[in-house]
Amino acid sequence: MTISTEAITDDGPLYEAAKKVYPQRVRGTYRRIKWIVLWIAIGVYYILPFIRWDRGPNAPNQAVLVDIAHSRFYAFFIELWPQEVYYFTGLLILAALILFLSNALFGRVWCGYACPQTVWTDLFLWVERLIEGDRRERIRLDAAPWTGDKIIRRAAKHAAWLVIAMLTGGAAMLYFVDAPTLLKDMVTLKGPSIAYLWAGILTFTTYALAGHMREQVCLYMCPWPRIQAALTDDDALNVTYRFDRGEPRMSVKHAAQAHANGQAAGDCIDCLQCVAVCPTGVDIRKGSQLGCIQCGLCIDACDAVMTKVHRPTRLIAYDTDENRKRRERGEANVYRLIRPRTILYAAVIALTGCIMLYALLTRTSSHLSVLHVRAPLFTQTAEGGVRNGYTLRFSNKLSEPGDFTLDVGGVKGAATTSAMAKPLGGGGLTVHLDPDSTLEVPVYVTAPADAAPGKSTPITFTATDAKTGERSVVVDNFFGP
């Protein structure tokens, strides 16, 4: 559905009533690109959970897995722990920057080709055309009375939509548990109830958004059309109707008469094919609009018409506002893909990617975090010493057991004790961890009376992996009276 913002009459309502959009089938370059992106995207979505990746014993062999039960995220050779959430932050930053760069270069190309809403809506439209026919047939079917044929067609369409929606919702669950196992359990009705619940929610949202709401998601729900307007400029390539070529628009017959009389006539024959094929019902000839997702289908439709009437193609094309102004001045088109805005985005993308890559390549297989016990902040011993309590969390990311030595520095003469660690010569402790596990160890640090520090003294905890030699150093504070 789409709503025009044109006033009807001076005394009538300001906005036209909502009209259902019936996108027409179209063939051409951009439609082929959309099909390629669609099938690649859907193929990756459904196949990816079944790809295997050997990580050794005691580790899942699913290539991409969000293991909520064990607080892990696996992506081929990468394994991320909850403490490494900054990697996800970096990925989100990268995704945003890439979106900004694509917008500066080619407008809303993401919306037109790769957005999940676009991909699944295209798939649902393909099913609808297959069952109910193309645009004219669907319009006639909607207007026709309810007959046996109409009921069968509608039931078949919605059944097919529901099957696709259920496959979509079910496939999403395969990213959270071993895919073959969960698929078998769900098909045999032995799966966990939470999996059926979320699969049902995603089935409903897919069916509603791609089958019924369609362009309304782009027009009213998605924030990106409103954001991208602030990120574009006159040199960004956008789907554009070339007014200088198309106006004044008139039929082929009237154009021939105008030329015979020495009058101007544009190439646009006002066939409305660009509107008929638009998935959001936009008339691109009215200029840049919120509903235009830059998919290029209107380009394919217009090119087909121009070819039939023996006129040059690309009356509608990916073009820039700057070129439109240049043509008005009688100057040649200039395309500036490399400019300060795109250079800045590309540089920040490269910098963020390098930082993430460095962090990934230098990440350790162990980790230590320290939390000071706050209640009480410190206690005093009978001998006059001062004791502070800490909770140390050790992480062993390897698939084999690990032993860590803990050394404490910064507080002169301090003694370190723990009921969950073995004492080590020199005042240190030894902590044993199981494979791929974390362990919280309560540790007490006691300073003697003759060396009791002041209100706050920095204290250093150093954990050393006995097998790999990796060291994790954490600085905290030791408090006294």
What is the chain's pLDDT, residue by residue, as a tens digit (481 residues)? 444 444 444 555 555 566 889 999 999 999 999 999 999 999 999 999 999 999 877 788 999 999 988 888 999 988 888 878 889 999 999 999 999 999 999 989 999 999 999 999 999 999 999 999 999 999 999 999 999 999 999 999 999 999 999 999 999 999 999 999 999 999 999 999 999 999 999 999 999 999 999 999 998 899 888 888 788 888 999 999 999 999 999 999 998 899 888 898 899 999 999 999 999 999 999 988 888 999 999 999 999 999 999 999 999 999 999 998 899 888 999 999 999 999 999 999 999 999 999 988 888 888 899 999 988 889 988 888 899 999 999 988 887 888 999 999 888 888 899 988 888 766 789 999 988 888 999 999 998 877 767 788 899 999 998 888 889 999 999 998 7
Of the candidates 289, 254, 257, 278, the residue with the CA atom closest to the CA atom of residue 268:
254
Residue 244 lies in a domain: yes
77's CB contacts (< 8 A; 6+ apart) are 53
- 274 in the same domain as 197: no
The per-residue pLDDT for 56 is 79
The per-residue pLDDT for 315 is 96
Peptide bond into 116 cis (omega under 30): no
The per-residue pLDDT for 9 is 45
- 460 in the same domain as 370: yes
Distance CA(421)–CA(404), nearest Å, equals 10
The per-residue pLDDT for 349 is 96
- 84 in the same domain as 187: yes
Residue 13 lies in a domain: no
| Burial status of residue 322 (CB atoms within 10 A of its CB: 0-12, 13-18, 19 or more) | middle
Q: Which of 228, 255, 289 is a domain's end point?
A: 228
Given a contact cutoff of 8 angstroms between Cβ atoms, the answer to whether 172 and 159 are in contact is: no
What's the half-sphere exposure (Cβ side, CA atoms, 13 Å) at 143? 8
Rg, the chain, Cα only: 32
Residue 42 lies in a domain: yes
Structure tokens at 89: 């932050």
The per-residue pLDDT for 231 is 83
pTM over 0.75: yes
Of the candidates 8, 17, 3, the residue with the CA atom closest to the CA atom of residue 282:
3
- 211 in the same domain as 97: yes
Q: Which of 169, 203, 228 is a domain's end point?
A: 228
Distance CA(111)–CA(232), nearest Å, equals 14
- 197 in the same domain as 87: yes
- 206 in the same domain as 263: no
Residue 397 lies in a domain: yes
- 168 in the same domain as 59: yes
Could you write out the three-class secondary structure of 244-256?
HHHCCCCCHHHHH
Long-range contacts of 6-14 (CB under 8 A, 24+ apart): none
List the beta bridge partners of residue 316. Answer: 241
Residue 7 lies in a domain: no
Tell me how far CA of residue 135 lies from CA of 104, 152, 211, 276, 403, in angstroms: 34, 18, 16, 8, 69
- 202 in the same domain as 106: yes
The per-residue pLDDT for 1 is 43
Largest Cα–Cα separation, the chain = 113
- 244 in the same domain as 167: no
Given a contact cutoff of 8 angstroms between Cβ atoms, the answer to whether 439 and 393 are in contact is: yes
Distance CA(345)–CA(325), nearest Å, equals 26
Backbone angles phi, psi at 405, to 5 degrees: -100, 135
Could you write out the three-class secondary structure of 178-240?
CHHHHHHHHHCCCCCHHHHHHHHHHHHHHHHHHHHHCHHHHHHHCCHHHHHCCCCCCCCCEEE
Residue 351 lies in a domain: no
Q: Which of 228, 249, 274 is a domain's end point?
A: 228
Place of tokens 């044109």: 6
Could you list the residue range(s) of the whole structural domain that residue 442 is in?
Answer: 366-479
What dihedral angle (degrees, nearest 10) is formed by the CA atoms of 148, 152, 153, 156? 170
- 427 in the same domain as 449: yes
Given a contact cutoff of 8 angstroms between Cβ atoms, the answer to whether 441 and 391 are in contact is: yes
Distance CA(146)–CA(315), nearest Å, equals 42
Distance CA(328)–CA(316), nearest Å, equals 17
Residue 318 lies in a domain: yes
Residue 272 lies in a domain: yes
- 180 in the same domain as 79: yes
Q: How many domains does the chain have?
A: 3
- 224 in the same domain as 85: yes
